[in-house]
Amino acid sequence: MKNTRGKQKILLVDGDGERRRQMTEVLQSVFHVIPAFDGEMAVDVLHSRQDFAAIVLQCRLFDFSGFDVMGFLHTNRSLVGIPVIAMGGAEDELKALSLGAVAFVQQPKEPYLISYQIQNLVGLVWSDRDCDMLTGVLQWEPFLQKCRDILEQSERERRPEQWAMVFLNVDRFKVFNDLFGRTMGDQLLRNLAARLIVMKGVHCVGRVGGDRFVLLCRMEELELGRFRQLGPELMRRLHLKYGLHICCGIYEIDDLTIPVGEICDRAQIAQETISGRSDQSVVLYDEELRRSLRWEQEVVSQMYEALEQGQFQAYLQPIFSLSGNAPVSAEALVRWIHPGRGVIPPNQFIPIFERNGFITRLDQYIWEKVFQYLAEFKAEGYPDLTITANMSRLDIYNTDVCNQLTSLAKKYDVSPSAFRIEVTESAYMDDPQQLLDMTKQLNAAGFAVLIDDFGSGYSSLNMLMDMPVSTLKLDMSLVRSVGSDERANCVVNSILRMAKWLEMGVVAEGVETQAQIDYLRAIGCDRVQGYYFSRPIPKWEFLRLLENYRDTSVREKPPVFDRSADTGEVWGAVTAYDRMMRGRMDAAALYEQSGDMAEVLCVNDSYYRLMESSPELLFRSSQLATGRIALCFYRRWTPPPRPESGRNWWFGDIWTWTARKV
Ligand code: C2E
Ligand code: CA
Ligand code: CA
């Protein structure tokens, strides 16, 4: 709609030369005016170009009248939509409006008055048409056009202004809509847009669609802290208690010749890097991001060839048994042996493959390698060795995984129980039902499933109750502090006890120090993996390591399947103990003892009275060292006899005590 000088273009059709000249002069300060002195000329012009913001049309023209021009506009599809502002005498108004003119300017009138009227009318038509109905900010196309005009002008005038494009997105807007309803969602967007329009440094606001906005800003006036405050501010205004997170990507425009669409893309790319990360609201498209995008391009352009040429290799990191003092298993970890760059670790390419879907192909390739290794190890005399392979969160949507693994097990003549699969907690967060279905399927086919990175942030007890998994892999972040940090000790100890109750195995990952080993051994965590024992190594090196332990026979426990019914029974039993405790008159507590520590499982009301305690106080100090309060031995709890079949949970050393204050 605009010419290269950034002005909206209008076609002025008037047969009166003097009036046309005067009006052109006045209108030129705002518009780029193309004059035409009769209807035929107007039609000629309209044949060759259609990018007018409006047509200002004198109704009374020689031969071919203004009304005829309007008739022509009606029949020409590419011209429908250009607003016509008609001029004429009072007697022309009705006909002009009935033929579709958006407005009528009655003459005679001073040309400058007419031009003001036209300016206002064009402004009105365009502001309505360009704006997003819901929020009132510019729609995507008009926004781009406006930015183009501003930046072009900036470049022409060589003004030293530093412009920036901000791409803004409401994180998890869908969740907000689900929680508070669409009407509230709309209100949120309206309020957000209103805040953005008046924000310091913001020059122009557009809505890309949904919950995404773009802002052209003057960089030096921008206060980035204001963006961080947006979420909480909006929630206060809407009187909602919700952790609204808004994330913004900023691209500082250093080259005015880059197309505006690409400028917006860069701001969006930056924004996407922090999407879903509640700890960060603002990110700049900077040199580092540029580098990582270049790297991504390189990886994507080489990945197929790399797979074909066998550049991806499965390294193995041994998993040791502390009691057996020998490796019992291994985790397969992929390495890219790049001809030019050497060994590339997975964190440099897996996130990229997860974005473009290539990870599912790579995982299948690694799984096949693992089956090959298992067959080889069996032939070398290690039939009991198991290997775990990783499964990306994307793989859970591949319904064929189970069949593929079963065929591989057959092809290499390896028992499914030797191959185990690790899924991360985050896959459960993505789609619990999908993961549950897949796990059940895998279990039924004989493949055990492990939960990877347990305790890394997403841990959900629901997941443990739901998922028939054989083993938890304690995340490195937890293991790192174990043995030196009291809180980490408590957490790890509790997870271990819970796992024991649910009859799950536990593997501690990232074990690096003797102190960690000592603590893990003391609390009964037998399976360990980490640099203390070995880094991930190529297969031949792993075989050599196995040789050193050939005489130590340690076997992995067979996995336990389908425990879902039993978990219910565990909680049921605890409730039964609870009832029993409450029925007693004297102060009583149920403890579980582990080493020299005793932990309260449940107590009765008399206990609270005697100890002047409360459920809250007790909860806070439930990890008790024996001796801190006098616990008189009451009797050993005789657990119900272990059933022959069906149930496989079991309580360890559980004691009841009567408590007496000292
Ligand atoms: P992960 O599954 O949690 O694997 C454990 C990572 O911890 C490995 O990193 C391992 O080398 C490292 N590690 C082991 N012991 C120690 C230790 O004592 N200290 C420290 N600081 N690190 C230790 P790696 O091999 O770089 O793999 C990183 C991640 O890449 C893996 O984390 C896994 O999520 C992913 N990954 C690796 N291979 C595959 C694969 O074949 N498929 C899929 N989908 N993901 C894979
Ligand atoms: Ca893993
Ligand atoms: Ca892990």
Write out pLDDT tens, residues 361-380. Answer: 999 999 999 999 999 999 99
Domain 297-548 sits in CATH 3.30.450.20 = no
Q: Which two tokens stand for residue 63?
A: 């031969």
State residue 632's pLDDT score. 30
Least Cα distance to 659 among 629, 637, 638, 635 occurs for: 629
Whether residue 512 has its Cβ less than 6 Å from ligand 1 = yes
Out of 390, 394, 396, mutate this one to test ligand 1's pocket (max ligand atoms within 8 Å of CB): namely 390
Determine the Cα–Cα distance for residues 30 and 121; give it in Å rounded to an integer.
Answer: 13
State residue 149's pLDDT score. 87
| CA-proximal residue: ligand 1, atom 15 (nearest) | 530
State residue 556's pLDDT score. 57
Spatial contact of 122 and 10, defined as CB atoms under 8 Å apart: yes
Spatial contact of 216 and 167, defined as CB atoms under 8 Å apart: no
Determine the Cα–Cα distance for residues 195 and 619; give it in Å rounded to an integer.
Answer: 45
pLDDT tens-digit readout, 173-200: 988 998 899 889 998 998 898 888 878 8
What's the CA-to-centroid distance between 362 and ligand 2, angstroms? 15
Whether residue 477 has its Cβ less than 6 Å from ligand 1 = no
Determine the Cα–Cα distance for residues 533 and 103; give it in Å rounded to an integer.
Answer: 84
Whether residue 645 has its Cβ less than 6 Å from ligand 1 = no
Q: Which two tokens stand for residue 410?
A: 């057959």
Ligand number with the minimum distance to the CA of 475: 3
Residues of the chain with pLDDT under 70: 1-7, 62-63, 77-81, 123-128, 159-160, 457-462, 552-605, 607-608, 610-662
Residue with tokens 């076997």: 555
What's the CA-to-centroid distance between 331 and ligand 2, angstroms? 7
Coil vs helix vs strand at 213: strand
Question: Domain boundaries in the chain?
Answer: 9-127, 138-285, 297-548, 569-657
State residue 537's pLDDT score. 97
| CA-proximal residue: ligand 1, atom 45 (nearest) | 390
Chain centroid to Cα 503, Å, comes to 33
State residue 579's pLDDT score. 54
DSSP 273-290: TTTT-TT--EEE--HHHH
Residue with tokens 């960690």: 516
Segment (H or E) for 207: strand 202-209
What's the CA-to-centroid distance between 472 and ligand 3, angstroms? 10
Atom of ligand 1 nearest to the CA of 531: 18
| CA-proximal residue: ligand 1, atom 22 (nearest) | 510
State residue 426's pLDDT score. 80
Out of 311, 312, 333, mutate this one to test ligand 1's pocket (max ligand atoms within 8 Å of CB): namely 333
Fold for 138-285, please state it.
Alpha-Beta Plaits (3.30.70)
Determine the Cα–Cα distance for residues 469 and 322; give it in Å rounded to an integer.
Answer: 22
Ligand number with the minimum distance to the CA of 507: 3
What's the CA-to-centroid distance between 391 and ligand 2, angstroms? 8
* 655, β-bridge pairs: 591, 636
| CA-proximal residue: ligand 1, atom 44 (nearest) | 392
Atom of ligand 1 nearest to the CA of 473: 3
State residue 135's pLDDT score. 82
What's the CA-to-centroid distance between 303 and ligand 1, angstroms? 20
Determine the Cα–Cα distance for residues 271 and 207; give it in Å rounded to an integer.
Answer: 15
What's the CA-to-centroid distance between 424 and ligand 3, angstroms? 8
CATH class of 9-127: alpha beta
Whether the upstream peptide bond of residue 615 has omega within 30° of 0, thus cis, is: no
